Amino acid sequence: MKNQLQLQKFLFEDNPSRLDLLNYPKEKGLPSECYTISIYRNHSFELIENTIYPYLAFSETSVKFEYSDYDDSLSFFNLNFASDLLILWIDFSRYRIENVDSFIEERMNFLKKKYKKPILFIPFGHHFKLNDKQVVVYNLDKVEDRLGDKFVDLRLEKFSGTKLSSLSCLEVSKEIGLNYIPSLLKPNLKGIIVDLDNTLYKGVLGEDGIDGVILTQGHRNLQSTLKKLKEKGFFLCIASKNNEQDVIDLFNKREDFPLSLDDFTKIYANWNSKSESIGLISNYLNVNTDSLLFIDDNTGELHSVTNAHPNIHILLANNDANITNNILNNYPGLLKLNVKAEDSLRQKDTQSNEARNKIINLLSKEEYFADLKMQLEYCVNDIQQSDRIAELANKTNQFIFSYKRYSLNEVENLVKDKRSAVISISLRDRLSDSGIIGGVIISEKNKVGILEECFISCRALGRGIDDTIVLGAVKIGLDYLNLHSFEAKCIKGERNTPALNFFNKYLSNYNMSNKFDYQLPDELIKIIVKKGI
């Protein structure tokens, strides 16, 4: 925790120079997994790399960069197609092409046939809009607007290898090190837990009263940022040492607050330890604490919480809320490159789980299903759902069998392959529409169905139909491929105990000689099956 808070201060309060960033000691204790990033360029990226490591350390991301030769033709020779991420770093002021957009589109189509992982495209000298989910474009317009005539430095180009100024390279280093690289290589965070006093406003509610706490402009900006993050699908919760009724009255009466009670998925305002409240929030959301960010103005509270939950992410709220807001706007894991329909459903769906748990304890199994009116929809090889399937494959950690982490391109190729079945699973009941909550991928090898991967969002589990969600998808996938024999495997990961327990109970006996035999319980649940390609 100490190193992380020191790094936070260094990056966001000390205004480090290039030399400061170069001299900052590389952080110890980063994850042992090291990602490989290929840089394909026609101007120098080295100025970016030289200053990016403190930002990557703050994002807890270990990275090794590999470089192409300088290439204006974008032929993509000698590219490591096994790298985890490709950055296209292209200076378009070097081109004299009449229709540069058509040239880029043609080169991208060629590249995507060979490279299946995410691509970060950073153009200089031309603004691009690509309607392509595999390729993320980071245009430098905002950097140019901020720096004005300091955006480029043609005097030093022959020494630096790029027209971009040193200040521009610092901006790019920060942006991709904190935001783009973590979001492209790692799962997003899932929730934000905030303290109240001297964090969301200035003052202490219990001492200053509802009208006495002050909403500075910085705190207004911070609350607005949190509200936007909630609207993008992040859970927003409170862990505060206050009386619960005082907190409820505060948000009901302070009409100047951008945040309202409805923005919070769960509120724990009591005098218990915040680590206890955070543990309860984690259980309520059904997510691991390493998917949560905790914001508090008290280092002692942060220390206590990280002792209890070592993997939780932390942000020390500053006296100047504008600084806190700047950190939050650049906090690794909070950049969502694609906001999907399921993001807007997440809060209501999770809150509905509380009502479901009460119902299941009061009714018989048959009464429970009759009351909730559950509906499961399986779609096989629907190309329109590839993006959501790829997202789930990359962010699911607890209920996942093989950690294959398919890219969008890989999912689309599987959908088009006649020997594969990609089954998306959607769930709804009278309380909420959960959207697409999981995926199962089966391939045919020697007339045997191989369960390549299974991943289910944890918010959809525990409703009494876990077996139907997974086994029903397997049944439908095998029927689609006209297969009877079935083989399933599950590997042990750091956090997939729920998946292992399920596998051991339902699937561990299946090998190549076993016939899969499962009947969908359509007398209890409405089952819909749709087929794409």
* The three-state (H, E, C) secondary structure of 438-477, written as one string: EEEEEEEECCEEEEEEEEECHHHCCCCCHHHHHHHHHHHH
Range of the domain at 140: 16-185
| CA dihedral (333, 334, 336, 340) positive or negative | positive
Last residue of a domain, one of 296, 329, 362: 329
Phi, psi angles (nearest 5°) of residue 116: -105, -5
* Measured distance CA(312)–CA(309) in Å, rounded: 6
* Measured distance CA(394)–CA(188) in Å, rounded: 9
Q: Can you give the pLDDT at residue 522?
A: 83
Q: Can you give the pLDDT at residue 234?
A: 94
In which residue are the tokens 């099956």 written?
529
Q: Can you give the pLDDT at residue 133?
A: 79
Give the type of residue at 362: L
Q: Are residues 387 and 422 in the same domain?
A: yes
**DSSP label of 516:** P
CB-CB contact of 441 with 421 (8 Å): yes
Q: Are residues 137 and 261 in the same domain?
A: no
Last residue of a domain, one of 185, 202, 233: 185
Q: Are residues 248 and 286 in the same domain?
A: yes
Q: Can you give the pLDDT at residue 340?
A: 67
CB-CB contact of 29 with 4 (8 Å): no
Please report whether residue 283 resides in a domain: yes
Q: Are residues 164 and 115 in the same domain?
A: yes
CATH of the domain at 502: 3.40.630.30
Please report whether residue 398 resides in a domain: yes
Q: Where are the alpha helices (DSSP H) in 14-149?
A: 18-23, 46-58, 100-112, 141-147
| First-to-final CA distance of the chain | 50
CB-CB contact of 92 with 63 (8 Å): no
CB-CB contact of 273 with 293 (8 Å): no
User: Among candidates 11, 31, 51, 41, which has minimal Cα distance to 120?
Assistant: 41
Please report whether residue 226 resides in a domain: yes
Between strands 191-194 and 292-296, the pairing is parallel
Q: Can you give the pLDDT at residue 355?
A: 78
CATH of the domain at 240: 3.40.50.1000
Please report whether residue 340 resides in a domain: no
Last residue of a domain, one of 185, 217, 236: 185
Please report whether residue 334 resides in a domain: no
Please report whether residue 219 resides in a domain: yes
Q: Are residues 498 and 357 in the same domain?
A: yes
* Long-range contacts of 338-344, Cβ-Cβ distance < 8 Å, separation of 24 or more: 338/133, 338/387, 338/391, 339/232, 339/233, 340/233, 340/387, 340/388, 340/391, 340/435, 341/435, 342/233, 342/388, 342/434, 342/435, 342/436, 342/437, 343/232, 343/233, 344/231, 344/233
Residues 6+ away with beta carbon under 8 Å from 467: 502, 506
Give the count of domains, the chain. 3
Q: Are residues 479 and 524 in the same domain?
A: yes
Give the type of residue at 496: N
Q: Are residues 150 and 42 in the same domain?
A: yes
Between strands 375-380 and 420-428, the pairing is antiparallel
At residue 41, the 3 state secondary structure works out as strand
* Measured distance CA(54)–CA(45) in Å, rounded: 17
Residue 373 gets the label, from left (phi > 0), alpha (psi -120 to 50) or beta, of left
Q: Are residues 71 and 171 in the same domain?
A: yes
Q: Can you give the pLDDT at residue 220?
A: 98
* Measured distance CA(433)–CA(418) in Å, rounded: 31
Q: Are residues 126 and 200 in the same domain?
A: no
* Measured distance CA(28)–CA(15) in Å, rounded: 22
CATH of the domain at 40: 3.40.50.1110
Binned average pLDDT, 10 residues per bin, the chain of 533 residues:
88 94 74 88 95 95 94 89 95 87 90 90 90 89 94 93 96 97 93 97 95 97 97 95 96 96 95 96 91 96 95 96 97 87 72 78 82 92 92 88 90 93 94 92 93 91 90 94 90 89 89 78 86 75
* Measured distance CA(100)–CA(122) in Å, rounded: 15
Q: Are residues 181 and 196 in the same domain?
A: no
* Measured distance CA(323)–CA(331) in Å, rounded: 12
Q: Are residues 61 and 200 in the same domain?
A: no
Please report whether residue 5 resides in a domain: no
| CA dihedral (178, 179, 182, 188) positive or negative | positive
Please report whether residue 11 resides in a domain: no
Q: Are residues 253 and 123 in the same domain?
A: no
